[in-house]
Structure 1
């Protein structure tokens, strides 16, 4: 299979993830980039929740039942949009965003329909313009130069990412060979086989616990039913390419919603976001953490909806239009990966606290009741975010139980964050290259953006999130006995996982800083003294009643485009070679520096096993010999479907006593109870670090066992051998 053959599947996956959510948000009144950005977030969240309901009802999970759930959601959003008065056919839902204080939008060059205006008391009894109830405040459409710039930057940045991943993986059917990746391949096969994508027991077949554990299956569910992709690895690898598109959309939507009067920021943020390594490249290749990557790539979409909801307070109907899908997205993304709930709490809490505090200040000055309503809604949001983890205490405790060895200091990790050094492998990575210098400039823009938005009163919560996430990332790397090390536990105390939060905050801040530089630079070149930047217009200048400058969109677009082009060229296509190596080190057997589960010939043997073995076959073999691939590639049941060790007594017995098969009746009894019919192994040495250290983890006997009497050779591929067990006949 070639990448060209996967093109229909890639298109189908992108459309399936984006189109339904966009339609739902459009029916609720959102439009433009702020509807497209959170679209995949809402689709996948709804899919995850719908899978739970279908699993509880015993209804099979497939593309048809998913489509049914999405159609029901479309009907619900159409009714809610009509009820709120924000639906497109109600007319009021298309009002362009204006500030809630200061001069009327007409004085600032914005168009707002007369039906969308009403008066409300301002400070000191003055009357200021505000949106009518039920009118959804959202950014105005981009000017054509800014829109063309956004389209060009998004196409280049996303295209470079897709190219790097496709080149690095090489073959669409080639599976990930990292620990988490092996599990998720088996999980996709389990969803397809059993028709259950519920996070509450849908993946029970992968465990020998004796009960159905909770495991977030939202990502597995939607990837498993995408048409035209066929083999499980092809579907998974297609999702690796598609996540680049979703990252571009979600981060652009967040920037557009946060700084609506900084159109250049939204146009350049795709390039800045794709310049970072950890998210999505590092997490989805070297870590193999597909659900975690998707959850945090989609997180900016959720934040976009939260920003719009807060912007529309205290109008209940206008606030509900983005707030309800935001709530659905929050719960749904937690079914993609639970850690994202804490990421949401970490980033949203400062926004809600600041909004509530501002409302109380207005209450003290004006005595009006509206600020009290704003504070109440913010307090409700915080209460929900903070209380839900208490209901899942056992799950949270199990995550925090992961132990990581810490480093003695923080210098290495802080330097790595500054230069965006790969956090795994690439020990000889050149920190002095031009590409790294460019990334230091991006980091400088992010730091400058954090200071800028703090001073100018818009997007402060993102600056707080940047500082907090950097601190947590450093703590996760540092000494394990640090007083606050426990706070990183909900992210498995994994440095790269927390680095994803750094990137979610750094990319928008860098975009805001670059946009201000471009805007003010254009005005300086034109010989005009900047009276206020776009951000300042949303802060103090608005309160003073000064008119805002709209700037020169064409000039801004040209200058920003040149800046992005220079960045791309100087950084080797956003470090495309390095990103390609990330994928190579995780997928290509002959280039795996730390692991070798199976080479291409052995992978082909696993695929043939699905055709050669009977339907009731069960294969036994060492986990680190690649046996889990017999299930995910060939569809044949195995005793150990992932790299984690067994918990059942029979699984452990076979692991430790397979060399006594034919002599110890207990071994054959375990074989019969588990239905084992075949055995797989290969003649490869234990190999480089760390696999020869992992073999003693209860797997030493099975790992080194060579079949003899009582085994019949059926097929070979590479160094792999597939045997039929006859010793227990």
Structure 2
């Protein structure tokens, strides 16, 4: 499908993602960049809740009913905004594309949520940047907008090059699951996270699965193919991701306006997100939660920061954005805690320190005891959760020693798959990140960003390093380093922007100290050197070729990292299924051999809509699905095979005779669906190359 021809569909999907949430935030009087960045999070909350309610009352999830839910949410928000009777201008929440204006007595650079501004105190620490000159302040909105556009383009380009075309199916375990889940939502009209995706599991035993992403993408207008819709969402998710980082930089470091210009550019250099998360891993719901996280965090900080207009409506807006991120993927609750938690902790510690020095030591001890009790309650509740226990206990392979994993984390080496890449990786950008980290402690500003980055790095290292050490801490992220790598980009981008901003400021100060007789060209050298260093780090870090190869390893047949699932032969047979098979056909076949895509592409039901049967939560080898996966090729020797075929309702068999030697994916869990003798008991329906489609006649 032509890329330019999909521009309207991409715009429509973006409008669907942004407009409902933006309208709700606007009615709560949240405006500017923060409202725009947090809008998709609120949209996710609206759609996720509405999908559950619609399922309860028997209403199908479609584009009209989704828009009706958005309208109802807007009306409810308008009423809520009127009820709270908060008519303040919310200057603290208006983070526009303009230079921030800070005056004495407002938020100090090192302030946290527990601190109050000191009357008459300057907001600027020694060495901090003062207000921008009027000309530069006027140019800041355009600079931010230009940086956002450039960063979005840098992030999208390798995705588009690697996909080759939007109709190319993603060939990863999670990717196949989610594309089929989109087809399921369209067929059933059920996008509820509470059982809506249960049919994706053979035993229909999944009571919860986050379906907010599926709810949004399944009703995106102008897209008949779920494959195209899913791939288009990969590109659209880049927009809230970059906007969110820009907004977070604006709120977290309002006295450093250049950081909000530099941070999105640095974010676009990383491979971990979106490249690895939403292509090789195909984790669209998790990827959506990551993309929405910085925008929601910006709104949370705007709502809770001291010195701002802390209003009930703003707090409600932050709660809605937080709910949207959590409903996109429950893991994001822990991600938000790790990201914003250091800001809360740093502020609380400083607040308690001042109380201790003021002689209010009993209050400090009381607060410490209450905090410890609260933490203990959380630990106990989580330890009793079977869902949390299964996630924490998820076993992953190791990626080397802790030191090796740490070095790979600094250079942004993809911790998933095998890709040729320079050992340098993103080390030039890491240099700016480290410089920004040092700066936060030397000048006592933004220390919580360093704490958040260090926390994600620590979790990353203990998740992937060997020997195991406190690995359970990374359990909420399935002990998967790549999931944590995506999150580490958020504080790292802001720190890199802070480091680059400090370097620019140092260059300008050096130029200012030159003798008055120095030529203009000579004065431009210090700043020019820093600008060249920033441009060089961005150019080296972007690594378009490496990113394109990684994306291609998930999309292009013959280049798939873990074996090709679907090639040209599969595509031909699948495309003809609506004509070759009756509407009530049920297709049995090796999902790793292409049969899984019979649902999303061939529009016919399949026995195994996932890439593996490991999701079948049945230890009984006689369970029909498990039995067929391992013994269907014994059809002519074992009468139990036909019993299992009838039990699952299979009427057609899909077989691809290509194997490891041809680069195809072969799964140990579905070996019984390969090497089937089709000389009798089967009637040929369609064939293309190594792929054949049969009607099963052996079982009556």
Match of 2:55 in 1: 55
For structure 2, which runs of at least 5 residues remain unmatched after alignment?
109-114, 124-131, 516-523
Match of 1:542 in 2: none
2: distance between equivalents of 1:45 and 1:121?
A: 32
Instruction: Map Cα deviations across residues 381-400 of structure 1 (whole Å, 9 max, x no partner).
Output: 98799479739812211212
Match of 1:266 in 2: 260
2: distance between equivalents of 1:98 and 1:584?
A: 46
Match of 2:463 in 1: 476
2: distance between equivalents of 1:3 and 1:661?
A: 46
Match of 1:351 in 2: 343
CA contact (8 A) 1:586 1:592 kept: yes
Shift in CA distance, 422/407, structure 1 to aligned 2, threshold 3 Å? closer
Match of 2:569 in 1: 601
Match of 1:42 in 2: 42
Shift in CA distance, 379/628, structure 1 to aligned 2, threshold 3 Å? same
Shifted more, 241-250 versus 392-401: the winner is 392-401
Instruction: Map Cα deviations across residues 620-650 of structure 1 (whole Å, 9 max, x no partner).
Output: 0012111110011122110000013145611
Alignment of 1:32-181 (within 5 A): 32-84=32-84, 102=105, 143-181=137-175
Match of 1:402 in 2: 394
Whether 2:324 is the aligned partner of 1:332: answer yes
CA contact (8 A) 2:565 2:665 kept: no
1: distance between equivalents of 2:147 and 2:355?
A: 44
Match of 1:441 in 2: 428
2: distance between equivalents of 1:71 and 1:151?
A: 29
Match of 1:532 in 2: none
Once the 2 structures are TM-superposed, how far is the Cα of residue 100 of structure 1 from its aligned partner?
Answer: 8.8
Match of 1:538 in 2: none
Once the 2 structures are TM-superposed, how far is the Cα of residue 83 of structure 1 from its aligned partner?
Answer: 4.5
Whether 2:453 is the aligned partner of 1:485: answer no
Match of 1:114 in 2: none
Match of 1:460 in 2: 447
CA contact (8 A) 1:165 1:583 kept: yes
Match of 2:111 in 1: none
Alignment of 1:530-679 (within 5 A): 565-571=535-541, 574-645=542-613, 646-647=616-617, 649-661=623-635, 664-679=638-653
> Normalized against structure 1, the TM-score is what?
0.83
Instruction: Map Cα deviations across residues 203-260 of structure 1 (whole Å, 9 max, x no partner).
Output: 0111123534211111111111101122111001101111221211111111111011
1: distance between equivalents of 2:467 and 2:230?
A: 34
Match of 2:520 in 1: none
1: distance between equivalents of 2:267 and 2:567?
A: 34
2: distance between equivalents of 1:384 and 1:664?
A: 56
1: distance between equivalents of 2:485 and 2:158?
A: 21
- Give aligned pairs, total: 663
1: distance between equivalents of 2:445 and 2:82?
A: 31
Once the 2 structures are TM-superposed, how far is the Cα of residue 597 of structure 1 from its aligned partner?
Answer: 0.8
2: distance between equivalents of 1:313 and 1:76?
A: 29
Residue 714 of structure 1, aligned match among 681, 685, 688: 685
Shift in CA distance, 702/89, structure 1 to aligned 2, threshold 3 Å? same
Shift in CA distance, 328/391, structure 1 to aligned 2, threshold 3 Å? farther
2: distance between equivalents of 1:290 and 1:524?
A: 47
CA contact (8 A) 2:95 2:251 kept: no
Shifted more, 378-387 versus 11-20: the winner is 378-387
CA contact (8 A) 2:191 2:215 kept: yes
Once the 2 structures are TM-superposed, how far is the Cα of residue 682 of structure 1 from its aligned partner?
Answer: 1.1
Instruction: Map Cα deviations across residues 26-55 of structure 1 (whole Å, 9 max, x no partner).
Output: 222222222222222222233222222222
2: distance between equivalents of 1:104 and 1:402?
A: 43
Match of 1:545 in 2: none
3-state SS of 2:698 partner: coil
2: distance between equivalents of 1:380 and 1:227?
A: 50
Match of 2:382 in 1: 390
2: distance between equivalents of 1:148 and 1:310?
A: 28
Residue 292 of structure 1, aligned match among 269, 286, 292: 286
Shifted more, 46-55 versus 182-191: the winner is 46-55
Once the 2 structures are TM-superposed, how far is the Cα of residue 481 of structure 1 from its aligned partner?
Answer: 3.5
CA contact (8 A) 1:178 1:287 kept: yes
Shift in CA distance, 10/561, structure 1 to aligned 2, threshold 3 Å? farther
Residue 525 of structure 1, aligned match among 503, 511, 525: 511
Once the 2 structures are TM-superposed, how far is the Cα of residue 176 of structure 1 from its aligned partner?
Answer: 0.8
CA contact (8 A) 1:18 1:36 kept: yes
Whether 2:484 is the aligned partner of 1:498: answer yes
Shift in CA distance, 677/103, structure 1 to aligned 2, threshold 3 Å? closer
CA contact (8 A) 1:86 1:92 kept: no
Match of 1:514 in 2: 500
CA contact (8 A) 2:34 2:94 kept: no
CA contact (8 A) 2:651 2:696 kept: yes
Shift in CA distance, 210/641, structure 1 to aligned 2, threshold 3 Å? closer
> Normalized against structure 2, the TM-score is what?
0.86
Alignment of 1:275-314 (within 5 A): 275-312=269-306
Match of 1:549 in 2: none
Once the 2 structures are TM-superposed, how far is the Cα of residue 528 of structure 1 from its aligned partner?
Answer: 9.1
CA contact (8 A) 2:105 2:117 kept: no
1: distance between equivalents of 2:222 and 2:512?
A: 54
Shift in CA distance, 388/284, structure 1 to aligned 2, threshold 3 Å? farther
2: distance between equivalents of 1:187 and 1:555?
A: 57
Once the 2 structures are TM-superposed, how far is the Cα of residue 265 of structure 1 from its aligned partner?
Answer: 0.6
Match of 1:240 in 2: 234
1: distance between equivalents of 2:359 and 2:102?
A: 21
